[in-house]
Amino acid sequence: MDSAAKNERANLIHADLHVHTTFSSDSTIQPKQLIEQLNAHTHVKAAAVTDHDTVRGLEAVCKL
């Protein structure tokens, strides 16, 4: 990989586009824990909260 490609890749934002919070019955992660995990992760810095049948998890994350 040449240096231009490495620089371009370094500017990418890695995201998890399918994350549930405790507002979905199939998750055990609290919204605050989600933010803490994103802050601690070395690559993934964004997430899409995709709880089932509700936006309450997203609303909770946005308030943090």
Q: What is the pLDDT of residues 20-53, one digit of tens each?
A: 999 999 999 999 999 999 999 988 989 999 999 9
Q: Are the beta carbons of 61 and 32 closer than 8 angstroms?
A: no
Number of domains, the chain: 1
- List the one residue out of 47, 43, 23 whose CA is nearest residue 34: 47
Torsion over CA: 44, 48, 51, 54 (sign) = positive
Host domain of residue 48: 3-63
- Cα–Cα distance list, 9 to 1, 12, 35, 41, 42 (Å): 10, 5, 24, 17, 15
pLDDT at residue 7 greater than cutoff 80: no
- List the one residue out of 3, 63, 5, 50 whose CA is nearest residue 23: 50
pLDDT at residue 6 greater than cutoff 70: no
